[in-house]
Amino acid sequence: MSASASARGAGHVSILASAGSGKTYRLSSRYLALLAAGARPGSILATTFTRAAAGEIRDRILARLARACVDERERDALAASMQVELDDGPHPDLSPARLRGLLGSLTRDLHALQVRTIDSFFAGIVRCFALSLDLPPAPDIVEGERERLLTRDAIRLMLADGDSQRLIDLLREFIEGRADRGVMDEIERAVTGLHGLFVEAPRQAWDTIPHTSTLDDEALRRAVASLEAAGEHAAHPDKRHRAALEKNLSQLAACAPGLADDWATFLNSGLAKPVALREAVYYRKPIDRLLVDAYAPLIRHARAVVRNAIRSRTLATRDLLERYDAAALDARRAARAITFGDLTAAIAGRADSLELNDIYFRLDARVQHLLLDEMQDTSVEQWRALMPIAREVLATYDGSRTFFCVGDVKQSIYGWRDAAPDLLERLPDLFPSIRSDSLDRSWRSSPVVIDAVNRVFTAVASNPVMAEFAEAAAAWDATFHEHAAVEKNRRLPGRVELRVCRAVEDSERAEPARLRQAAELARDLHRRQPELSIGVLTRSNKAVGRILNELTSMGVRATGRGGGPLTDAAPVNAVLDALRLAEHPDHTIASFHVGSSPLWTVLHGASSAASRLPSAGGEQEIGDRRSGADGQTPTPTGDDRPPAADSPLSTQHAPRGARSAALPSPARAAALSRHIRRLVLEHGLARTIARWVRLLAPSCDARELRRLHELVELAAAFDARPTPRLDDFIRLVETTAVADPMSARVEVMTIHKSKGLEFDLVILPDLDGRLIRTDNALVAVERSGPGGPVTRITRWVSEDQWGHFDDLRTLHESTKQRLARESLAVLYVAMTRAIGGLFMLIDGPVKRAPKCSHAALLLAALAPDRGRKPGELVHESGDPGFLDHLARARATREPMAASPDALDEASTAIPLAPPRRAAVASAASPSAETETLVPPSTSAEPFRLPDQDALDLGTAMHAMFEQVEWIEDGVPEDAVLRRIVARVLPRRGEAWIDRSIASFRAALEKPPVRGVLERAVSHQPSAVGPEPGTRNPEVAAHPAVRRVWRERRFVREHDGVIQQGTIDRLEATQDEAGRYVAARVIDFKTDAVDAAEATAHAARYRRQMLDYRAAAASLLGIDESAVGLVLVYVHPGVVTPVT
């Protein structure tokens, strides 16, 4: 059937979907409906904003289709969801044969599957039209830290421009009022936040404030004299009028002629303020008319000075961005690099001139169906770039082309990157052919949580805290509809608490105390029900780091999703201070920090060995202590020995690991600075830091060591730059978010990073800051309608300045209202991450607490009659004993409903062929991590799809094998294994975990597998693996000569490359003197292979195992020939050597 015939009824639709209501499910239903109606995969473009989201959509499409092939219930559910999308159109054929055919066509043409990020789609266009878009051919698209470094390179080029005086004048205007920030920091902040706007906006939009005449010096002197004279003759109702006048006269005497801040202070104090606001009343008594008339010329002058200053700062910002734009172009041409922002701007600027037919021809795909996910996050420039395709699609009404978008304006929290949620709201008005729909039933949260959300966000305009932001509140109320839990979730247990924190001595200690209390709450909840997931969500990265440190000190394993700067680990800060000292020997703070940390002794020990660092191409193990991993601190010998007493770096500091309060002398600091610079110049940054990491390891816990390893990786990437500067690297580390690779039941992250996630329990401890913060705002922007062109831009100034001008008041007020609405969205996102438990912590009474905050909003909505008594539970709802009930419900997935945005792990298993495992090319690739997707040659063959069960089972099996040191010493009980598996696989239910434990115990019953774990099995130095059942009585009698490490992490340098990985099991034999003489690396594999296939299959892992051999030899100080390699296929019970 033709697409135009069979897709009739699909139509154009815009969906406003609330949190947890199934946005991804609905989008995948639309995709599958179009596919079943005859659309080719290459004709359907589905875009979203992150690679993870694109992968989730793609996986959902494949998994739903695969399950429908073999499960009648899944087939019926798929048919029902398709019918929603096709409306009154014909029912597609969903027979098993037809579905297998569809799945086969998808897997054969995965390269044509256009489920991608919007940036990657634009990148494809740019690669085809680079020259037409004035971009370099085949550009290197950079992001993240590389983009930041490129930005700083462009700033340096700009600052090196020949017209230095003009640049100085621009900078003076630009940073006026920002003396608390460095010039470089302020420029970087501005160009990062404003360059996209500069490229988009017409030049005249920056020049909408006309110059206003001011009084000359003589006229100003006469005006002041007139005010003084009026003060002598005016009747003063009381002494306060006289005091206010004297205050103004004193200010006038000190006012610099053109300094806006001085004149703004005059305008907003004394009698000048009510006169300027045309009130002429002070303390409820009228101001004498003589004074009002005398003030008039001075107020006009003050306003003119302030307004002209705003104009000057705005124009200076534009001119600085203009210079930066030219420098950025030169920097990017030199690097043959562009950013994703460049892609979007280039396409948006030429969108109307690019021929769609040319685009489709060069991309080898014609977009007939456009599906946009998270539409509320689409920026104006991105929408302009998509408009030609959208217009063409929306001009068709017969089903041959369709438009679909889904989003939630209540979750629009990315205004800082120019997201335009108004576009989603106004789409049906802009394009009448678009039908509106909504989703308000939550598949995620318990009724208790939903009730709290409704109480807070229904009728926000009536909340007294929002009086200042009435426009934002009204706009919110227009889009919020009361939420409800789906039928199956209505018995899901839940709990909501709003608690005032314990009393503190002063307001400055309130935040640290509150964050610590949040960590204590997370610890207690985790101990009560360790299988439940906990999300601690904050508004700032600083709070994330503080809470993670608190949890670590409490012994709670926690990670930060999405990551934060590596500076959340103290040893990383010590390393950065050492590098800072290298650049700035007189930096006393850095010198003190280095001198009072274990790094001081490490640096001393390393200094005498500077010339002995291995040359490029050599090899040095850098991941741990020299003695192996037995927990013993290495004795400094050779390269590690401290310098002689007469060395300029000698010290009387305490031994390694101890802290000293002494500040290194200037001479020692200067010598240390020279030493570090020499190391970096001779050996590179990564290798220098890697050596420090190895020596610091005894002073670090596991998390600190992991963050140090990640610091080495950043340094390795940084070393590739042509002219690396240590200051740039320090800034890179301080601003780059690095994800923590370890999984944990307790996760700490910012609310922005939690979007799209869900947790059994959510803790919100960062609610007391101001509802909006304008101190970091850069500009106020006016557009001609939603997504329209920019018509006016001014630099952001404080309200005591813009409040005196009607045109600026309108512009700044609209920006404030937008920020307030976005702040409501942040709180909404935070609260709706919770499945069953929502715990909110707020401060008690503190001085200077903001009147308008999330805390105040919650208190007014949930406990309007309660105060802030320290330690009091001011609101509670739900069952206090809900934790046990929730844990049972999560384990059995009943009576709660599985969200349509979550794959049901209880679904009928699909009889798939055993998955093929991709060859591991690097030691950094963990075992059992990747699966290949192999298309069948015919639709009748079984499909080899990525099997999440297989991947998770591999993770679980590795975690359980890690618990076995020697089989003779016993294996943990099932209860212990359940906790372990639940910790590494938080989303898995109890039934699945029990099945994985059964598989583990079945593997242990197989003699070859059991034999590998026996202490008494022979272990000859040159053997690559034991014959099952072969025993060595001498080894059995003297077990102390055998050592074993499980999940042994390593980091090593090889051929100039930093490698890291984890060895599943490392065994070593020692001689009588305690020296290691032989070792065996054992790697557990959960691949589904039989005994006949094992030897051939093992060849896939040879490269990985050889890397493990080299790492083990380096760790133990033995020759590689003395390290045996064994692969253990646990399911068939096959042990095979690797040679």
CA 434 to chain centre: 34
Whether pLDDT at 512 is above 80: yes
The crossing angle, in degrees rounded to 10, of helices 470-479 and 806-831 is 50
- The pLDDT assigned to 631 comes to 35
- The pLDDT assigned to 1036 comes to 40
Report the mean per-residue pLDDT for the chain: 80
* Structure-block tokens of residue 738: 């690095």
* Structure-block tokens of residue 735: 């601003």
Most trustworthy range by pLDDT among 338-347, 622-631, 736-745, 1023-1032? 338-347
Work out whether strand 441-442 and strand 484-485 pair parallel, antiparallel, or are unpaired: parallel
Q: Which whole number is the average pLDDT over 504-517?
A: 82
Whether pLDDT at 908 is above 70: no
Contacts of residue 734, defined as CB under 8 A and 6 or more positions apart, other chains included, come to 565, 567, 576
Q: Which residues pair with 338 in a beta bridge?
A: 141
DSSP 505: S
In contact, 1060 and 926? CB cutoff 8 Å: no
> Where residue 353 falls among pLDDT bands split at 50, 70, 90?
low
Q: Dump pLDDT digits (tens) for 364-421.
A: 567 889 999 999 988 888 888 888 888 888 988 888 899 999 999 999 988 777 788 8
Work out whether strand 1076-1085 and strand 1057-1070 pair parallel, antiparallel, or are unpaired: antiparallel
In contact, 275 and 299? CB cutoff 8 Å: yes
The crossing angle, in degrees rounded to 10, of helices 289-335 and 164-174 is 130
Q: Which of 113-117, 342-346, 738-742, 1048-1052 has the lowest mean pLDDT?
A: 738-742
Task: Report how far residue 995's alpha carbon sits from residue 44's, in angstroms, rounded to the nearest whole number.
Answer: 39
Work out whether strand 1042-1054 and strand 1057-1070 pair parallel, antiparallel, or are unpaired: antiparallel
Phi-psi region of 503 (alpha: psi -120 to 50; beta: other; left: phi over 0): beta
* Structure-block tokens of residue 27: 């989008």
Question: What pTM was computed for the model?
Answer: 0.73
DSSP 1119: -
Whether pLDDT at 599 is above 70: yes
Count Cα neighbours of 1026 within 13 Å in the Cβ-side half-sphere. Answer: 24
Helix (H, G, I), strand (E, B) or coil at 689: helix
In contact, 197 and 779? CB cutoff 8 Å: yes
Q: Dump pLDDT digits (tens) for 832-891.
A: 999 999 999 999 887 777 889 999 999 999 999 888 888 899 999 998 888 888 887 766
Most trustworthy range by pLDDT among 228-237, 800-809, 1098-1107? 800-809
Q: Dump pLDDT digits (tens) for 52-69.
A: 888 889 989 999 999 999
Contacts of residue 103, defined as CB under 8 A and 6 or more positions apart, other chains included, come to 62, 65, 66, 69, 939, 943
Q: Which whole number is the average pLDDT over 1084-1101?
A: 81
> Where residue 681 falls among pLDDT bands split at 50, 70, 90?
confident
- The pLDDT assigned to 624 comes to 36
Contacts of residue 542, defined as CB under 8 A and 6 or more positions apart, other chains included, come to none
- The pLDDT assigned to 616 comes to 33
Q: What is the DSSP string of 562-601?
A: T-B-GGGSHHHHHHHHHHHHHH-TT-HHHHHHHHTSTHHH
> Where residue 948 falls among pLDDT bands split at 50, 70, 90?
low
Q: Dump pLDDT digits (tens) for 300-338.
A: 999 999 999 999 999 999 999 999 999 998 888 888 888
- The pLDDT assigned to 351 comes to 65
Q: Dump pLDDT digits (tens) for 1004-1030.
A: 999 999 999 987 654 443 333 334 334
Task: Report how far residue 1079's alpha carbon sits from residue 1051's, in angstroms, rounded to the nearest whole number.
Answer: 18
CA dihedral sign, ordered 899, 905, 908, 911: positive
> Where residue 672 falls among pLDDT bands split at 50, 70, 90?
confident
Q: Dump pLDDT digits (tens) for 184-202.
A: 778 888 888 899 899 989 9
Count CB-CB contacts under 10 A for residue 742: 12
- The pLDDT assigned to 905 comes to 34
Three-state secondary structure string covering 923-949: CCCCCCCCECCECCCCCCCCCECCCHH
Closest CA to 680 of 693, 694, 690: 690
- The pLDDT assigned to 209 comes to 94
Work out whether strand 873-878 and strand 495-500 pair parallel, antiparallel, or are unpaired: antiparallel
CA 906 to chain centre: 31
Whether pLDDT at 220 is above 50: yes
Q: How many helices (H) and strands (E) does the chain have?
A: 41, 27
**Bigger pLDDT: 830 or 121?**
830
Closest CA to 833 of 559, 547, 535, 440: 535
- The pLDDT assigned to 451 comes to 97
- The pLDDT assigned to 406 comes to 94
Whole-angstrom CA distances from 273 to 279, 558, 980, 1022 are 9, 53, 66, 90
Whether pLDDT at 1064 is above 60: yes
Q: Dump pLDDT digits (tens) for 226-236.
A: 999 998 887 76
Q: What is the DSSP string of 24-76?
A: HHHHHHHHHHHHHTT--GGGEEEEESSHHHHHHHHHHHHHHHHHHHH-HHHHH
- The pLDDT assigned to 634 comes to 34
* Structure-block tokens of residue 759: 């947790």
Across 1064-1091, b (16+ Cβ under 10 Å) vs e yields: bbbbbbeeeeeebebbbbbbbbbbbbee
The residue assigned the tokens 């004993």 is: 881
Q: Dump pLDDT digits (tens) for 737-754.
A: 777 666 678 999 999 989
- The pLDDT assigned to 935 comes to 31
> Where residue 897 falls among pLDDT bands split at 50, 70, 90?
very low
Task: Report how far residue 55's alpha carbon sits from residue 950's, in angstroms, rounded to the nearest whole number.
Answer: 18
> Where residue 485 falls among pLDDT bands split at 50, 70, 90?
very high
DSSP E strand boundaries for 1009-1041: none
- The pLDDT assigned to 907 comes to 34
CA 526 to chain centre: 24
- The pLDDT assigned to 890 comes to 67
In contact, 1067 and 1116? CB cutoff 8 Å: no
> CA triplet 26, 28, 33: central angle to 5 degrees?
95
Whole-angstrom CA distances from 25 to 8, 22, 81, 443 are 21, 5, 9, 11
Closest CA to 994 of 1013, 979, 1010: 979
Count CB-CB contacts under 10 A for residue 1137: 16
CA 88 to chain centre: 42
Count Cα neighbours of 928 within 13 Å in the Cβ-side half-sphere. Answer: 25
**Bigger pLDDT: 1044 or 235?**
1044
Phi-psi region of 997 (alpha: psi -120 to 50; beta: other; left: phi over 0): alpha
Q: Which residues pair with 794 in a beta bridge?
A: 780
User: Which burial class, exposed, middle or buried, applies to 479 when counting CB atoms under 10 A from its CB (0-12, 13-18, 19+)?
Assistant: middle
Task: Report how far residue 39's alpha carbon sits from residue 859's, in angstroms, rounded to the nearest whole number.
Answer: 52
> Where residue 361 falls among pLDDT bands split at 50, 70, 90?
low
Contacts of residue 141, defined as CB under 8 A and 6 or more positions apart, other chains included, come to 123, 337, 338, 339, 340, 343
Q: How many residues does the chain have?
A: 1139
CA 1076 to chain centre: 44
Cis status of the peptide bond prior to 636, with omega within 30 of 0:
no
Q: Which residues pair with 62 in a beta bridge?
A: none
Helix (H, G, I), strand (E, B) or coil at 610: helix
User: Which burial class, exposed, middle or buried, applies to 276 when counting CB atoms under 10 A from its CB (0-12, 13-18, 19+)?
Assistant: buried
> Where residue 1037 falls among pLDDT bands split at 50, 70, 90?
very low
> Where residue 495 falls among pLDDT bands split at 50, 70, 90?
very high
Q: Which whole number is the average pLDDT over 621-627?
A: 34
Closest CA to 113 of 36, 55, 67, 37: 55
| Percent of the chain with pLDDT strictly greater than 70 | 81
Helix (H, G, I), strand (E, B) or coil at 1125: strand
Whole-angstrom CA distances from 975 to 429, 918, 967, 983, 993 are 59, 34, 18, 13, 11
Q: What is the longest distance spanned by two Cα atoms in the chain?
A: 115
Q: Dump pLDDT digits (tens) for 152-176.
A: 889 888 888 766 677 777 777 777 6
Work out whether strand 115-117 and strand 402-407 pair parallel, antiparallel, or are unpaired: unpaired
Count CB-CB contacts under 10 A for residue 642: 20
Whether pLDDT at 698 is above 80: no
Q: Dump pLDDT digits (tens) for 536-570.
A: 999 988 898 889 888 888 888 888 776 667 887 88
Contacts of residue 659, defined as CB under 8 A and 6 or more positions apart, other chains included, come to 596, 597, 598
In contact, 850 and 856? CB cutoff 8 Å: yes
- The pLDDT assigned to 1058 comes to 59
User: Which burial class, exposed, middle or buried, applies to 1034 when counting CB atoms under 10 A from its CB (0-12, 13-18, 19+)?
Assistant: exposed
Q: Which residues pair with 841 in a beta bridge?
A: 499
Helix (H, G, I), strand (E, B) or coil at 404: strand
**Bigger pLDDT: 597 or 778?**
778
Whether pLDDT at 471 is above 60: yes
